[in-house]
Amino acid sequence: MEYTKLTRDDIISLITEFKAEIRKNLAKNEIFNEKINELTKLLDVQGKKRKPYPLSKWDKIVLEVVRENGKPATSRQIYDGAIKRAIAAGIAMDEEKMKAKINQCLVKLSGRRDDLKKVKYGGRGFAYSL
């Protein structure tokens, strides 16, 4: 490969050409984003909306614990509060089954129903907030 020395005018010309290409690509990007948004809206109109999953007693207990905490609650805080409420409500089971039930509720409420939001929490895991 042969080395060619670029003059000042050559460099300015290349810079101008590259900037023009960037402007063209940005314009194309905007057009494509608009088309994607239009198609997404069409898809939403055509698609059937699913009925929201009904809340169980356990779901309501988990939501109460998070609401009363007043700030994002860790899984441990939710487990502790929900187990106490389940015992008071008379729906308690053995501890492993209750933990599994609470975990199912957290997945349901933060994923499918979108009632809870996962928030990054210092350390391991997430905290949950309304």
pLDDT tens, position by position, 20-51: 999 999 999 999 999 998 888 888 777 666 66
Judged against a pLDDT cut of 80, whether residue 112 lies above it is answered with no
Pairwise CA distance, residues 42 & 36, whole Å: 10
Give the three-class secondary structure for 67: helix
DSSP string, 49-79: PPPPPPP-HHHHHHHHHHHHH-S-EEHHHHH
Q: What is the mean pLDDT of residues 83-107?
A: 85
1 pLDDT band (50/70/90 cuts)? very low
Q: Give the pTM.
A: 0.57
Tokens for 121, please give them.
């929490």
Nearest by Cα to 102 from 114, 92, 117, 112: 92
124 pLDDT band (50/70/90 cuts)? confident
The full set of domain ranges for the chain reads 7-49, 57-129
**Is the backbone of residue 52 left (phi > 0), alpha (psi -120 to 50) or beta?**
beta
CATH architecture of the domain with residue range 57-129: Orthogonal Bundle (1.10)
